[in-house]
Amino acid sequence: ETNTLPFHPFENHQGDILRMEKEHQVLKEKLQEAEEKFEQLQNRRLEEITAFEELLKKSVEETEVSQNELDWFHQDSEAQLKKWQQEKKENRDNLKALRSTAKKHSETNERYLKAADDKEKQYHECLNTFLETSNKFANEKGKLEELIKKSQGDSQECVKRAVKAEVSVLQTWKETEVWKLKGTIAKAEGNIRTLKALSSSASTAPVLKSQIDLWEIFISNVKKQLEKVEAEYEEKIEQVKNGARNCLSKVEIVDVPSP
């Protein structure tokens, strides 16, 4: 908004200060011109008087001038002198008026300059206050950013520990279920070995053969269940490692009835 609005209370309209400064400059130039004109006129009148006096002296010395011509010459000189004195008085009055106007504008200009200095001081005070506040907020922002950075690091570390814990739990559940199923398979294989040993007798061979077949089917089903459990637990572990949530649940185990 610099130089776009009136500067109250020193301007009623935009540009009043500049206009008064221009008027002040014009008056100074007129004053200087009047002084120069006055000096030129004074010098010219002095030169004219000197010339007239020399002419009078020369005329008196060289020739005898009639009394009428001498009276006429004196009258003319007096008239010229009065005219010059009148012009001198007018020039002095004009000079006095110009000096009074110049003084008035000078005082007004000093008043405006003082007001401008006061406004500039207020501006610098406001600027310093703003800078202090800005620096304070910048320091607080830096502290908050450091705290956020530290919190993010702690959060990432917690996430890593949580993932590790979830993977450990899933791995434990997997190993437990696998151990149970492998134990079931081992018992079933032991039963098959016992039945095969007893099937050497011809009288019991047909009955035991059917029992052996049932146990082999049972072992096959349990192995399928084992593969399913291992695959699903591995899938859950990979999901947890990749950042998935709500994966911490046991794999559903289908109970395979034994023969």
**DSSP type of residue 252:** P
- Distance between start and end Cα atoms, the chain: 97
Only one residue has tokens 């890593």, namely 160
Residues 86-109 pLDDT 10s: 999 999 999 999 999 998 988 998
**DSSP type of residue 195:** H
pLDDT value of residue 3: 61
Closest CA to 244 of 159, 154, 168: 159
Distance CA 195, CA 207 (A): 10
For the chain, give the number of residues: 259
- The domains of the chain are located at 141-242
The burial of 11, by beta-carbon neighbours within 10 Å (0-12 exposed, 13-18 middle, 19 or more buried), is given as: middle
Residues 210-236 pLDDT 10s: 888 888 888 898 898 888 888 988 888
At position 148, the amino acid (one-letter code) is I
Indicate if the pLDDT at residue 202 is higher than 60: no
User: Which string of b and e fits 214-251 if b means at least 16 CB within 10 Å?
Assistant: bbeebbeebbebbeebbebbeebbeebeeeeeebeeeb
Indicate the SS3 state at residue 115. Answer: helix
Distance CA 193, CA 183 (A): 15
- Any idea what the Cα angle at residue 121 is, between residues 6 and 111, rounded to 5°? 55
170-185: average pLDDT: 88
Phi-psi region of 243 (alpha: psi -120 to 50; beta: other; left: phi over 0): left
Q: Which residue has the higher pLDDT, 1 or 160?
A: 160
pLDDT value of residue 201: 62
The fraction of the chain above a pLDDT of 90, given in percent, is 19
Residues 31-86 pLDDT 10s: 999 999 999 999 998 999 898 888 888 877 877 767 777 778 888 888 999 999 99
The fraction of the chain above a pLDDT of 70, given in percent, is 91
Entry pTM:
0.42
**Biggest distance spanned by C-alpha atoms of the chain:** 198
**C-alpha distances in angstroms, 128 versus 46, 122, 125?**
65, 10, 5
- Any idea what the Cα angle at residue 186 is, between residues 185 and 190, rounded to 5°? 115
16-23: average pLDDT: 83
